Homo-oligomer: A and B are copies of this chain.
């Protein structure tokens, strides 16, 4: 009955969702209210100053700037944030092939104060995609592996529809029904979903694996507008050619 209830566990973690209207990217600011240690996930370079200002106003100590994967549609704000907030370190998965201060692997836990994010490898959109799971507050940041009623494309950056299907089902939709799922993008204004909803209503992931692969391999999407500038930049935390 309460499967669509939208909670965040204890509700104690500081949690802010931020949006980039141009690339439709969601950035997340998470922090421990006691120690003030904070992490930013998937920042966008054009909005890095907005993010740094919010961190500063909220009196937070930004320790990690993390990415769910090496993005092809925007330049990460990671490198610029490291300049704006020199104490922080960049974090990305080892498999991403991108440079970072800290490379994380499946099963590791990122800690900030009393808060914890479990790293789950969820390849398929890219080889190096991870989902950050917060068991304490009952949510996951799914990157482009799972979007609200959708999923990331699998036709570039070592994408594989079969791998994505397995990742989403084994690592994300296997979480409890009431876990909130926060995507890296949404194009129609949804901000969040839940495991229960996606298991029931995701038009792609509710298909059989064979149907999913067939669908994903025949989307006929346009070549990503910013991929040729984004990937080389995101390999080096977005600092490529930065003034």
The 8 Å CB contact of A58, one of B12, B17, B197, is B197
Complex: A192 Cα to B20 Cα, angstroms: 15
Q: How far is the CB of A107 from chain B (nearest CB, A)?
A: 28
Q: Which of A156-164, A183-191, A215-223 contacts B (4 or more CB under 8 A)?
A: A183-191
Complex: A78 Cα to B201 Cα, angstroms: 25
With an 8 Å Cβ cutoff, the count of chain A residues facing the other chain is 37
The 8 Å CB contact of A191, one of B6, B8, B191, is B191
Interface of A: prevailing SS = loop
Q: How far is the CB of A118 from chain B (nearest CB, A)?
A: 21
CB–CB B191/A4 < 8 A: no
CB–CB A17/B191 < 8 A: yes
Complex: A17 Cα to B191 Cα, angstroms: 6
Taking Cβ atoms with an 8 Å cutoff, the residues of A that contact B are 1-2, 4-9, 11-21, 24, 27, 33-34, 47, 50, 54, 57-59, 188-192, 197, 200-201
A and B contact pairs by CB, cutoff 8 A, 6 listed: A4-B58, A6-B14, A19-B189, A21-B189, A50-B189, A57-B200
